[in-house]
Amino acid sequence: MKSYLIVCYFTVMSFFVSYSQNNYPIQTVLKGDSVIIMTTDQYQNLELISDNQKARIKSMRSQIDELNKIFDTLNNEIAIKSDSLNAIKGLIEIKLSDYDSLTSRIKDVENFLYYTSIDNAYMYYSYTDSTIMLIDLSSYIFIGNRRTGNFSLVRRGTSDEDAEWKRCNRLYPQEPKSGWELYYKERWRPVVLKFPYQIKEEIK
């Protein structure tokens, strides 16, 4: 009988302990404050979860700090690259400006040679002015003597007709027959030089 009572006691106690663990944590009021009561295991588990969360937050903050450093480094590199690109862009703009200026000058030279050759002119270099000078021969006829090799200029009209003769030269361009210099005796033969580049038509 005594053994039976002991077994019943332990059975009842196990039931209450199991029942109490299954119903924790519980919320109650203690001395006017709302409190939560939990078992030691529950508290330790909660503390473990809290510690794990703190560790994760710390790790994430460390990763964010590293990413911020990388971001700052990349920003600095981008700024340096941008400065380099701006410098290169400036150089390209200068080169393009120089190219446009050179192209314009070449166009001016071609136009000068083109119209000068049509109008007929005697060109010479002025060392005083460091430039090319020309004598406009639009109103003159160029005549050569095959026997002596001498050349003469004959005026076609008065100076007030120069503009009209220039207009005629451009409207009705003429040129000597190819190889005309060969008609002169070799000892008196003029030297004909060719411009190294072709100018096929009037430069606009």
* DSSP state letter for 154: E
Using DSSP's 3-state secondary structure scheme, residue 203 falls into coil
Mean pLDDT over each residue of the chain, to the nearest integer? 82
- Stretch (H or E) spanning 136: strand 131-136
CA distance 138 to 161: 10
Query: pLDDT tens digit string along 125-172?
Result: 999 999 989 888 888 988 888 888 898 989 988 888 888 988 888 888
Verdict on whether the full-model pTM lies above 0.85 = no
16 versus 71: the higher-pLDDT residue is 71
Are 179 and 141 contacting, i.e. CB atoms less than 8 angstroms apart?
Answer: no
